[in-house]
Structure 1
Amino acid sequence: MVYIWNDPSEVPADFGPSVVTFGNFDGVHRGHQQVLSQLIRSARLTRSKAVAVTFDPHPAFVHRPESAPEMIMGLDDKLEALGELGLDAILVVKYSLDLASLTAEEFVEQYLVDCLHASHVVIGHDARFGRGNSGDLDTMKALGEKFGFEVQVISEFGSEGYPLHDDDGADRRCSSTWVREALQEGDVATAAAVLGRWHRMRGEVVHGAARGRALGFPTANLASNASGLIPADGIYAGWLVDQAGKRWPAAISVGSNPTFDGVSRQVEAHVIDRPKEAVEDFDLYGQTVVVEFVARFGGWWPIVGLKHWWTR
């Protein structure tokens, strides 16, 4: 069981000792996984609790909302991905100007020491924290000596045994930026390689044009507020996971539609593994579903073509 706390006041007073790291963890990609797996290993060796501190919203939405990056995943999916790694607890800290005003020492003392009773803090070489990003690795080591915790430095690169390369064949550090670049180009295969799993979106199914249903394929149109970064326009093979956890092979259409306010992006998942006579009883409206992107196809692939691709 993973404990998820949305405020420091929810952390039991007797919790700990803990091995802690902190970050945004957008995407929970292989670099994040490498850091967290070593954190968990350290926690088990020292009989401590393995804890990740993450922030919501992303700091960029507070400091520079006009240029904030698109989030790879929503908070629910991030917490699910973090929890699957084997952490004991996750503390979600509301990011605000008040939090940003804390000095590096105040942040460490209030959240890592007083709240989580950290015996070890795991960070990367380039970690920055505290007001104006004034805290760095040397700051954390000094604070460790002051408050009595050890600092473990981990290089976040890829995943052990899975070197990743960019288009030029050079090693590239796993990053949320790389995932965003790949998705914006529709390269869901590269995104999956960096993430260590298929990219996903999560949202409520709403009524749409029902073009797929007219052809004999149930269609799930994701609401405009669905979480997860929308890949480039195109046709994708993927999966639809319904509210009960059932996985269905799907042809996913991503398209841009002009509106009075600009351009909207629409994601439609057409389930391709249902008998035609059973289409009408396949009702997902109002359900929250997950759509996973496996492969992109060039040009227009009819749904029947994707059904053949999935079953070949």
Structure 2
Amino acid sequence: MELRIGLESLPLGAGGTVVTVGFFDGVHLGHQAVFRRTVEVAREGGLRSVVVTFDRHPRETLTPGREPKLLTPPDGKARLIEAAGVDVVLVLRFDRAFSLVPAEEFVRRVLADGLHAEHVVVGANFTFGHQARGTVETLRALGPAHGFTAEEIPILELDGRPVSSSSIREALAEGDLEWPTRALGRRYSVEGNVVTGAGRGVDLGFPTANLETDPRVLLPKTGIYAGRASIEDRHLVAAISVGTNPTFGREPVHVEAFLLDFAGELHGRALTVEFWARLRNEERFDSPEALARAMAEDVRRTRELVPVPEARPA
């Protein structure tokens, strides 16, 4: 997959394309349907498939401080888009100047002159351009003059419930993992580098990896979870805490993971944790010993709920 950054990376070069545009936070099943159609039409026509996305949530620029937390950081989103078989990802800077670009100018500069679009695929709730005035009907109206057609993909529903990034965020904030798992088509996960913690886990008999996560990324509701952790090509069962360590005085919300049946140095390494089941709420215990007993029970239940990943062939 080819990655391009900014308007200055255009034009794309010779040859037509099939393009889709959106922020695509989470790359949920609805987004994946859009990508599949984009890739399908491109391959049928001998064209390149292109995803146009943005370096930040539009609301970060339009209403600073009121933007939602992200389901996927930029790198993670790019990996998921690549897995969909897309040929090119164009990441545009959604700054104040870009937010003022009229829909008609976006069509001309980006879709037509920049990407040589022959077909554009968008979701049913798609808007673009200054004040979000552009819609799929705008694309259909402007397309003939610029040499492309436009297609709208209906909103995906599961058991009558629309799949959306906002519904996934709401579920995670409530500690619900069932809907995010279904809507994403995978377990929700967060990633980060392992950093030095207070060392209390070692004293309690459960040495944990403390994750430094992207502050823009959404963490599930505070509590204890069963899941898995991935380090490079190793996949392990893990008991995961999202919380503030109330037994020892409150700290900023952060992620810690106890990797079952693992011995090794993790500091400085990249770690991804995957949430499978919510075990309990975060609690304040009267003593470290009481906390250790609760952690032992968390580990026992984690073993019951999460199967050990099969070793991959070398």
Does residue 1:297 correspond to 2:296, yes or no? no
Distance in 1 (CA, whole Å) between partners of 2:240 and 2:8 is 43
- CA-CA distance at 1:172 after TM superposition: 1.2
Aligned to 1:23: 22
Does residue 1:255 correspond to 2:243, yes or no? yes
Does residue 1:237 correspond to 2:236, yes or no? no
Name the SS of the counterpart of 1:67 in structure 2: coil
Distance in 2 (CA, whole Å) between partners of 1:185 and 1:218 is 28
Does residue 1:180 correspond to 2:169, yes or no? yes
Distance in 1 (CA, whole Å) between partners of 2:101 and 2:33 is 29
Does residue 1:286 correspond to 2:268, yes or no? yes
Q: Which runs of 5+ in 2 are unaligned?
A: 282-293, 309-314
Name the SS of the counterpart of 2:72 in structure 1: coil
Distance in 2 (CA, whole Å) between partners of 1:238 and 1:308 is 9
* Cα pair distance change 1:80/1:131, threshold 3 Å: same
Aligned to 1:112: 111
* Cα pair distance change 1:15/1:212, threshold 3 Å: farther
- CA-CA distance at 1:303 after TM superposition: 4.0
| Matched residue type, 1:238 | G
- CA-CA distance at 1:235 after TM superposition: 1.1
Instruction: Kindly provide the CA deviation profile for residues 207-258 of structure 1, in whole angstroms up to 9, marking residues without a partner as x.
Output: 113344345544211115456310011111111111x221111000111358
Aligned to 2:212: 223
Name the SS of the counterpart of 2:252 in structure 1: strand
| Matched residue type, 1:53 | V
- CA-CA distance at 1:125 after TM superposition: 3.2
Aligned to 1:168: none
Q: Which runs of 5+ in 1 are unaligned?
A: 159-163, 166-170
Distance in 1 (CA, whole Å) between partners of 2:216 and 2:63 is 20
- CA-CA distance at 1:123 after TM superposition: 1.6
Instruction: Kindly provide the CA deviation profile for residues 70-126 of structure 1, in whole angstroms up to 9, marking residues without a partner as x.
Output: 111111111111111110110000101111111111011111111111010112333
Contact 1:34 1:156 in 2 (8 A): no
* Cα pair distance change 1:268/1:134, threshold 3 Å: same
Distance in 1 (CA, whole Å) between partners of 2:33 and 2:116 is 23
Aligned to 2:98: 99
Cα RMSD, aligned residues only:
2.0
Contact 1:202 1:227 in 2 (8 A): no
Aligned counterparts, 1:186-201, within 5 A: 186-201=175-190
Q: Percent of counterpart pairs with the same letter? A: 38
Instruction: Kindly provide the CA deviation profile for residues 177-218 of structure 1, in whole angstroms up to 9, marking residues without a partner as x.
Output: 111011001112221111111111111111113344345544
Contact 1:100 1:130 in 2 (8 A): yes
Aligned counterparts, 1:161-176, within 5 A: 164-165=158-159, 171-176=160-165
* TM-score using structure 2 length: 0.86
- CA-CA distance at 1:35 after TM superposition: 1.1
- CA-CA distance at 1:294 after TM superposition: 1.0
- CA-CA distance at 1:66 after TM superposition: 2.1
* Cα pair distance change 1:217/1:12, threshold 3 Å: farther
Contact 1:20 1:50 in 2 (8 A): yes
Name the SS of the counterpart of 1:61 in structure 2: helix
* Cα pair distance change 1:130/1:311, threshold 3 Å: closer
Name the SS of the counterpart of 1:194 in structure 2: helix
Distance in 2 (CA, whole Å) between partners of 1:72 and 1:267 is 15
Distance in 1 (CA, whole Å) between partners of 2:211 and 2:260 is 17
The correspondence for 2:303, drawn from 299, 303, 308, is 308
* TM-score using structure 1 length: 0.87
Name the SS of the counterpart of 2:265 in structure 1: coil
Distance in 2 (CA, whole Å) between partners of 1:227 and 1:155 is 29
